[in-house]
């Protein structure tokens, strides 16, 4: 290779990595509290992704799936991935399945098996990184355009979805191949990719190849157009970086705080899956009902100060109060049963309840013996029924902090004694 050509390849690789790094930074695709695991097949896309991420983040693991469909090729892929893990000095997690390419629903079964593994990693605090790229999204959009009429369904493969991260959604297959060749990476080609038996392959071999040959700017226009459509429909990843706060409150549950929770549907689904006892995958309908309830609350907060529990699959419950949404699993609800009793006992045994007392964890309960706060609640707190009943029986005023005016919140900030898990010794 001539020196000039070598310099060109080197410059391209530097620019490629910096482009991906900037994309990751812009869209916050690495979370300081999440561990990284890369799904790697041994093909060029995932090998390139491991190389790129490994160049600026050494703290990650690999996942490899041996589907058992092509014994000799599968063995070579597994050996390649193991060798790559040794070179990168990272852990590799290998999972073996016993599937057959002759099954009618092979792709669906393989996807379901991988999804179970991904879900397990996500529940253990990982984000799973896959090597889907712009061409994959383009092909997905074409397929869905023939099957679906909703805009959302045809916007392409999401950049982030329930803990699955796709940092190569800023590069094309052609660019990935150029990077891999310039870096002299080793990979294996899955020969089943050339079979038109599978839907995606058939589309790629008979349609998209001709589109790219005839319209070389097709991918560029696709990305621009679909980014605009996603922004117009509030579905773009950037729309999710607005006003959301996510807090792990006292019980370990997830507390979402936002004026418009509908922007964060994927994040909410991620929390539900994390706490669910069920392996059930799709919960769209349940989450849509939850978000509709939030819209009703925000439209008429006086009539609907909060709702809950809203029971979801897998033993998960949701509680809504104005801009606050709490997602709890069974163990978190057990925490609140204990918390409720201890809070009642704590208050009842005090000779004098402080002038203003409040909880900063989700209960958000403000106790006001001297009725200095303008608002007093008529409602029982769904997680603190014993405490609320005791307060009502003793004529003690209480309310919930999300319902208070700015003036009352300032008063609480100055005078409140915080009644949370640290006070109660939980």
Task: Output the pLDDT for position 82.
Answer: 95
* Cross-strand pairs, 128: 37, 164
Euclidean distance between CA atoms 96 and 67, whole angstroms? 6
Please state the φ and ψ torsions of residue 354, each to the nearest 5 degrees.
-55, 155
Is 46 known to sit in a ligand binding site? Answer: yes
Helix (H) or strand (E) holding 413: helix 406-415
Task: Output the pLDDT for position 133.
Answer: 93
Give the chain's residues under pLDDT 50: 241-242
- 183 alpha-carbon distance from chain centroid: 32
Q: CB of 304 within 8 A of CB of 296? A: yes
Q: What is the DSSP string of 171-226?
A: S-HHHHHHHHHHTT------GGGG-TTSHHHHHIIIIIHHHHHH-TTHHHHHHHHH
The residues near 108 (Cβ < 8 Å, ≥ 6 apart) are none
Is 45 known to sit in a ligand binding site? Answer: yes
Task: Output the pLDDT for position 185.
Answer: 95
Is 125 known to sit in a ligand binding site? Answer: no
Task: Output the pLDDT for position 405.
Answer: 78
Alpha-carbon torsion (86, 89, 95, 101), positive or negative = negative
Q: CB of 289 within 8 A of CB of 320? A: no
SS3 244: coil
Task: Output the pLDDT for position 350.
Answer: 78
Q: Of 172, 187, 183, 151, which is closest to residue 47 (Cα–Cα)?
A: 187
Is 43 known to sit in a ligand binding site? Answer: yes
Q: Of 114, 163, 121, which is closest to residue 268 (Cα–Cα)?
A: 163
The residues near 181 (Cβ < 8 Å, ≥ 6 apart) are none
Q: CB of 263 within 8 A of CB of 245? A: no
Task: Output the pLDDT for position 26.
Answer: 80
Q: Of 178, 168, 227, 146, which is closest to residue 11 (Cα–Cα)?
A: 178
Cis ω before 47 (30° cut-off from 0): no
Please state the φ and ψ torsions of residue 320, each to the nearest 5 degrees.
-110, 135
Task: Output the pLDDT for position 144.
Answer: 80
Q: CB of 114 within 8 A of CB of 65? A: yes
């Amino acid at each position: 290779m001539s020196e000039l050509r070598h310099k060109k390849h080197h410059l391209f690789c530097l620019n490629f990595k910096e482009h991906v790094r900037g994309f990751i930074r812009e869209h916050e695709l690495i979370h300081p509290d999440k561990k990284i695991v890369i799904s790697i097949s041994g093909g060029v896309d995932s090998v390139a992704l491991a190389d790129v991420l490994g160049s600026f983040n050494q703290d990650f693991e690999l996942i490899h799936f041996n589907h058992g469909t092509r014994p000799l090729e599968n063995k070579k892929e597994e050996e390649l991935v193991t060798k790559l893990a040794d070179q990168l000095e990272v852990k590799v997690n290998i999972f073996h399945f016993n599937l057959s390419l002759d099954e009618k629903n092979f792709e669906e079964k393989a996807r379901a098996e991988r999804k179970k593994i991904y879900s397990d990693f996500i529940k253990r605090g990982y984000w799973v990184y896959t090597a889907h790229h712009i061409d994959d999204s383009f092909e997905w959009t074409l397929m869905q355009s023939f099957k679906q009429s909703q805009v959302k369904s045809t916007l392409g493969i999401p950049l982030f979805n329930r803990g699955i991260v796709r940092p190569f959604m800023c590069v094309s297959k052609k660019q990935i191949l150029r990077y891999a060749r310039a870096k002299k990476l080793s990979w294996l080609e899955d020969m089943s990719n050339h079979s038109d038996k599978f839907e995606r392959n058939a589309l790629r071999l008979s349609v998209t190849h001709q589109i790219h040959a005839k319209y070389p700017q097709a991918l560029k226009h696709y990305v621009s157009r679909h980014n605009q459509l996603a922004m117009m429909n509030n579905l773009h990843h950037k729309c999710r970086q607005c006003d959301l706060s996510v807090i792990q409150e006292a019980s370990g549950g997830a507390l979402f705080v936002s004026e418009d929770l509908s922007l964060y549907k994927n994040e909410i689904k991620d929390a539900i899956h994390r706490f669910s006892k069920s392996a059930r995958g799709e919960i769209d309908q349940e989450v849509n009902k939850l978000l509709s309830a939030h819209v009703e609350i925000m439209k008429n907060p006086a009539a609907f100060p909060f709702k809950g529990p809203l029971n979801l699959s897998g033993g998960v419950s949701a509680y809504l109060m104005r801009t606050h949404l709490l997602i709890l699993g069974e163990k978190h609800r057990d925490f609140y049963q204990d918390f409720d009793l201890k809070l009642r006992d704590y208050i009842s045994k005090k000779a004098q309840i402080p002038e203003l007392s409040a909880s900063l964890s989700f209960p958000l309960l403000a106790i006001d013996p001297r009725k200095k706060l303008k608002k007093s609640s008529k409602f029982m707190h769904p997680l603190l029924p014993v405490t609320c009943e005791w307060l009502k029986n003793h004529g003690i005023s209480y309310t919930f902090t999300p319902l208070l005016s700015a003036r009352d919140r300032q008063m609480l900030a100055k005078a409140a004694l915080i009644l949370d898990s640290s006070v109660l010794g939980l």
